Amino acid sequence: SIFTILVLTLLVLLTVATFLWNLLVLATILRVKAFHRVPHNLVASTAVSDVLVAALVMPLSLVKELSAGRRWWLGRELCLVWVCFDVLCCTASIWNVTAIALDRYWSITRHLEYTLLTRRRISNVMIALTWALSAAISLAPLFGWGETYSPEQERCQVSQEPSYTIVSTGGAFYLPLCVVLFVYWKIYKAAKFRMGGRRRNAVVPLPEAAQVKEASHEPQMVFTARHAAITFQTDGETWREQKEKKAALMVGILIGVFVLCWIPFFITELVSPLCSCNIPPVWKSIFLWLGYSNSFFNPLIYTAFNKNYNNAFKNLFVKQR
């Protein structure tokens, strides 16, 4: 039908766009020396996981969607490879988003002790733990924890063993979900506290004879001398406050899109094996591809809030021409 053709065309475009956009981010980070530092290594790790999702996972998922009854006709070996990379890359993408949120949180709330050297060490540890945990979850079925391939039913899917379902969904989604929600709550609380502190510390100007004013450009500083004590007030936001506000907005959008994309899939993935519920295959496919789409939105979000990426993209294309 025409509707089926339109849906398949949309899925193909989503796969290609996800691959190209994340590949562009990786190429930019590799070519621009200014990006060879924190937090761009976290962005690069996320882009690697999302590129692998688009290159190794989404095409085989599309082949499965095209088959009659969504059956798997490609054999046991390719099924194991597909499921392994599916769990590995999607879990790594989710935990990389969590690492970016944590990095922004520490840079906002602990900017004095969270130096560049400290950020580099912590980010490298987070990247190593991300891929190690993702590999452990994805490789567990290969060592007998559940079965992914059924030759009688020609079915290929993530292991439905209840114990594996609880551990895998918890480690791949529900644990990072709790982390990112806690992080954003702390960021919101810190931002609200600072805004309240700015209001409390505001000083009403004294008469002109006791005032010394700087230039009128924002932010305006008004200094008052009285009994050898100096106080000040700030009209407008400082550079650091603007940077923190922008980082908090980016983290909020990143977390919001991450939750909207993945929570339908992981709810059904957890509930279905435990209650033996028969969820219609079409809804499983919709939730799965909605989760895959998070790999497309990730680079859009964290590059939209960084002007350096936009300038680097332009320079990259100009040099190639």
What is the pLDDT at residue 196? 57
Higher pLDDT, 196 or 15: 15
Q: Which H or E run contains 133? A: helix 116-139
Segment 17-67, tens digit of pLDDT? 999 999 999 988 888 877 777 778 899 999 999 999 999 999 999 988 888
Instruction: Answer whether residue 221 is part of any domain.
Output: no
Instruction: Answer whether residue 272 is part of any domain.
Output: yes
Instruction: Answer whether residue 229 is part of any domain.
Output: no
Structure tokens at 66: 């095209």
Segment 166-218, tens digit of pLDDT? 999 999 999 999 999 998 888 877 766 665 555 555 444 544 444 444 444 44
What is the pLDDT at residue 65? 85
Instruction: Answer whether residue 18 is part of any domain.
Output: yes
Instruction: Answer whether residue 234 is part of any domain.
Output: no
What is the pLDDT at residue 270? 87
Instruction: Answer whether residue 60 is part of any domain.
Output: yes
CATH number of the domain enclosing 58: 1.20.1070.10
**Start-to-end C-alpha separation, the chain:** 42
Does the predicted model carry a pTM greater than 0.75? yes
- Does the pLDDT value for residue 231 go beyond 50? no
Instruction: Answer whether residue 143 is part of any domain.
Output: yes
What is the pLDDT at residue 194? 61
- Does the pLDDT value for residue 101 go beyond 70? yes
Per-residue pLDDT, averaged over 245-254, amounts to 79
How far is the C-alpha of 252 from the C-alpha of 250, rounded, in Å?
5
Enclosing domain of residue 46: 2-199+242-319
CB-neighbour burial class of residue 187 (10 A; exposed 0-12, middle 13-18, buried 19+):
buried
- Domains identified in the chain, total number: 1
Instruction: Answer whether residue 178 is part of any domain.
Output: yes
